[in-house]
């Protein structure tokens, strides 16, 4: 088998396994795309030639979300009937190029059933490391678990940490993996000393967390993190240095930042 055949086979194999609700198969597809040895895709160019300054990916809109169409092999390119230029790139490279502009990647839109769409949030996971971000779509809500000692200790330590402006919280249920408590960190200063002080604040506070309860943090300045986006839109701070308004707001659960269920498949 040629090198080209080898690189496309894994993606196409995983693509055939993806069906609605099969998040394990979908995660396997993301891993194939994230692997340089198995993740090449043929990006369809609407303008220009591969490598030229005016090269522009095609675009399509599904359920109000933007995607760049691609195919997964030379054979699929032929089957698609595409008669303009194309560019062969690693899935990792495509992810890094697309997600900052909130564009996803749509694999084989010409195929029976319409192919598979990968939202920009999952491209961000590919670009930054799949294991570093929870698998979506995420279900986010105000935490129902009662741990007032932890919140009180964390707020006390935050008040002693000048870099911290405010703290928010969310209960995060990934599509795969255990749910966890997320603490949103809103800080004045991101210098190394300030980061170290905030890290020490969390370390001094997590001892009040019940055994077995996972806790993670998210920077509120991250414009592409779905948990930070949800926190900014739905959760009032439980600690606010400036407003002193500790009351949290109830927020509806949902797959924030992802298309409605089923629209990817």
pLDDT value of residue 235: 95
The DSSP secondary-structure symbol of 100 reads: G
CA angle 166, 135, 101 (to 5 degrees): 70
Domains present along the chain, CATH in parentheses: 3-132 (3.40.1350.90), 139-240 (3.30.70)
Phi-psi map region of 16: left, alpha, beta (phi>0 left; psi -120 to 50 alpha):
alpha
- 197-223 burial: b if 16+ Cβ within 10 Å, else e: bbeebbeebeeebeeeeebeebbbeee
According to the model, what pLDDT value does residue 259 have?
Answer: 59
For residues 234 and 51, give the distance between their C-alpha atoms in angstroms, rounded to a whole number. Answer: 43
Q: What is the pLDDT along the chain (265 residues), one digit of tens a residue?
A: 233 334 447 888 889 888 888 888 999 999 999 988 778 899 999 887 877 788 889 899 998 899 999 999 999 999 999 988 999 999 999 999 999 999 999 999 999 889 999 999 999 999 988 888 888 788 999 999 999 999 999 999 999 999 999 999 999 999 888 999 999 999 999 999 999 999 999 999 999 999 999 999 999 998 888 899 999 999 999 999 987 544 444 444 445 555 555 444 4
- Please state, as a whole number, how many other Cβ atoms lie within 10 Å of the Cβ of residue 10: 20
Cα–Cα–Cα angle for 115, 28, 252, rounded to 5 degrees: 80
pTM: 0.73
């Amino acid at each position: 088998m040629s090198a080209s055949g080898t690189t496309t086979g894994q993606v196409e194999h995983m693509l055939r396994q993806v069906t609605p609700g099969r998040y394990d198969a979908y995660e396997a597809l993301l891993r194939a795309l994230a692997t340089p040895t198995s993740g090449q895709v043929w990006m369809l160019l609407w303008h220009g030639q591969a490598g030229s300054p005016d090269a522009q990916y095609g675009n399509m809109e599904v359920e109000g979300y933007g995607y760049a169409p691609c195919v997964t092999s030379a054979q699929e390119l032929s089957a698609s009937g595409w008669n303009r230029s194309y560019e062969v790139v690693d899935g990792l490279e495509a992810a890094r190029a697309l997600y900052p502009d909130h564009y996803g990647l749509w694999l084989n839109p010409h195929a029976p059933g319409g192919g598979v769409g990968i939202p920009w949030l999952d491209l961000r996971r590919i670009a930054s490391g799949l294991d570093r971000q929870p698998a979506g779509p995420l279900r986010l809500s105000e935490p129902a678990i009662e741990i007032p000692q932890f919140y009180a200790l964390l707020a006390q330590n935050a008040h002693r940490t000048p870099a911290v402006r405010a703290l928010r919280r969310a209960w995060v249920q990934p599509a795969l993996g255990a749910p966890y408590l997320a603490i949103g960190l809103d800080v004045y200063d991101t210098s190394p000393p300030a980061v170290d002080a905030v890290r020490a604040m969390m370390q001094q506070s997590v001892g009040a967390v019940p055994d077995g309860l996972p806790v993670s943090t998210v920077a509120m300045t991250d414009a592409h993190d779905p948990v930070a986006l949800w926190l900014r839109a739905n959760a009032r701070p439980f600690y606010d240095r400036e407003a002193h308004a500790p009351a949290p707001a109830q927020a509806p659960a949902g797959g924030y930042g992802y298309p409605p269920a089923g629209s990817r498949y």
